[in-house]
Amino acid sequence: MCGIVAYVGPQDAAPVLLEGLQRLEYRGYDSAGVAVVTRSGALKVHKAKLRVAELAASLPARFKGTSGIGHTRWATHGEPNDVNAHPHTDTAERIAVVHNGVIENADELRAALAADGVEFRSQTDTEVLAHLVAQYAERGAGLEEAVRSTLRRVVGTYGIAVVDVSEPGVVVVARNGSPLVLGVGEKEMFVASDVTAFVAYTRQVVHLEDGELAVVRASGYRTFNEEARATHRTPSEVDMEVVEFDTAGHAHFLAKEIHEQPDAVERTLRGRLDRRFATAHLGGLNLGARELREVRRIKILGCGSAYYAGEIGAQLIEDLARMPASSEPASEFRYRNPVIESDTLYIAVSQSGETYDTLAAVKEVKRKGGRVLGVVNSVGSAIARECDGGVYLHAGPEVSVASTKAFTSTIVAFALLALHFGRIQDLSPAAGGRLVEALDALPGQIREILAQEERIAALAAEYASEHAKSGSMMFIGRVRGFPVAREAAQKLKEISYIHAEAYPASELKHGPLALIGPELPTVAVVPDDELFDKNLTTLGEIRTRAGRVLAVAHREIDPALAEHTVVVPKSEPVLDAVLLNIPLQLFAYHAALALGRDVDRPRNLAKSVTVE
């Protein structure tokens, strides 16, 4: 979602800002803009409904300043256009603001400002902030005081960066529910919504917490709260490499990330498999064996693909540790006044570690005395810092909006957690040893599946070309196969725009069978397990109604029951979801390609969802 960058220092600010915005493009956006303050105290703003590269190419020749702010916008208030793009300024163009989040009382504040004679140019909630800061500044307040006074009137979430032509070389920033991090350089300072934006310049970072502000100058920074009390944040070093965001010879980031999955899984497993004791080493849990034995149930919280990965994780934990476990959308959990139990362990799942709904759910659990572990990919992210412990995926940067390698690595991380919990409980050394060997074999098996891409691409193109007949596809699976079907349906929806519905195969005859016919294809997840024969019966019910079936299975399905079968290698049954999901990622990718979709940046979606 929206990205923020800011810079103060001796360099020309605009190129630094634009480079930072390019590194945040993966978050998703529909417009971009930058503003710089010159040494003489002039404000220059350039923004448009353009990609960052196009914005850079159209930058005016004289656009120099040693401090500035930049933004990539994902529309929440007002349609995507040049006027609604950030930064936003006050009428006199003294103040410029960039903002992530949602100001919930923006209409009320707008009405009050309009009554004072303020004329608005955009439809955004952010412009309200610019005019409010300007009002306080015009009454004699310095930029710091003007921002603090403004935020005391604001209800909602925000990550903001503000500049004032009257104070060249100063940026004031604030956070409440939307991430902001400071980068401490050598006589220069950086601000961003993601460390990725400035890691090429410094790895010394300061994470702002909710309710905190900072005044940033080239010489350093000062952090404080809305009551102006100092918070004394000290820098820490982030362990992150400078990543060049290129497709490494692939047509799209999504294709690259699908093919990176064997390596991603190897990184998730590295140093964590203990063959001697047939278990997993997870040092970041901060939870001893005695404490774990006191846990009676596990609740997993996530959104979108993280929620579906949590469903698979819950099954892994129940199968291996024999502990009741369930997964729930974090976006629903936080609003239903949940009962937080002292003997329940909560696990928050997020690729970015900044998903707002999940972060809010974590805070709700913590507020009520619950214990939360995190399963996240982004080191030092808000959710990782908020949790009591957890597991980093180490899947590597994921740029495409649709999650693939992070989803797969999340399942593997849950397998490690389940193995660890299981061996503390009643899982035998023999069973643990089999799982260790199966986990170790996963990267090679994923490579075997990826080698089938050409055939899967042909099938995807065939099914995509016929989707217009019904405009939809059905995905089915039982028990371990059902979350795989749900994730596969989501992938197809989000990148190809084909409507897809996932249903438990056992529930098909309880209603959805009415939809089946020659125009509605069904993708069936058919593991070779104790439910194999029951799954074949369901396929028979579909075929007798002239429905087309594409099966993803561990062996060829009788053509009378499935028109096509994609065969994947067999692993331990509890790991079936990892391998059965891979061909369905390829299926969604190639279906989207066949329909001419923008697979890396699907419409209306963003990589990191930091607003409600």
Instruction: Return the half-sphere exposure (C-beta side, CA atoms, 13 A cut-off) of residue 104.
Output: 7
The token pair that represents 565 in the structure block: 């079968």
Residue 133 has what DSSP assignment?
H
The token pair that represents 558 in the structure block: 């009788």
CA atoms of 208 and 231, how far apart (whole Å): 10
Catalytic residue among 49, 299, 405, 607: 607
| Secondary structure of residue 386 in the 3-state scheme | helix
Q: Pairing relation of β-strands 31-37 and 43-48?
A: antiparallel
C-beta separation of 404 from 490 below 8 A: no
C-beta separation of 1 from 55 below 8 A: no
Q: Which residues pair with 216 in a beta bridge?
A: 171, 221
Phi, psi of 495 (to 5 degrees): -110, -20
Q: Is 2 part of the annotated catalytic residue set?
A: yes
CA atoms of 195 and 497, how far apart (whole Å): 32
C-beta separation of 127 from 95 below 8 A: no
The token pair that represents 384 in the structure block: 């990782």
Catalytic residue among 2, 256, 299, 387: 2
CA atoms of 67 and 16, how far apart (whole Å): 10
Q: Which residues pair with 347 in a beta bridge?
A: 300, 373
Q: Is 387 part of the annotated catalytic residue set?
A: no
Q: Find out whether the peptide bond into 512 is cis, omega within 30 degrees of 0.
A: no
Per residue, the 3-state secondary structure of 238-300, as one string, reads CCCCCCCCCCCCCCCHHHHHHHCHHHHHHHHHCCCEECCCCEECCHHHCCCHHHHHCCCEEEE
Nearest to 127 by CA among 171, 91, 157: 91
CA atoms of 608 and 368, how far apart (whole Å): 27
Nearest to 383 by CA among 323, 460, 322, 301: 301
Angle (CA) 304-309-314 rounded to 5° is 125
Nearest to 408 by CA among 557, 341, 529, 308: 308
Place of tokens 């399942």: 411
CA atoms of 9 and 219, how far apart (whole Å): 8
The catalytic residues are 2, 607
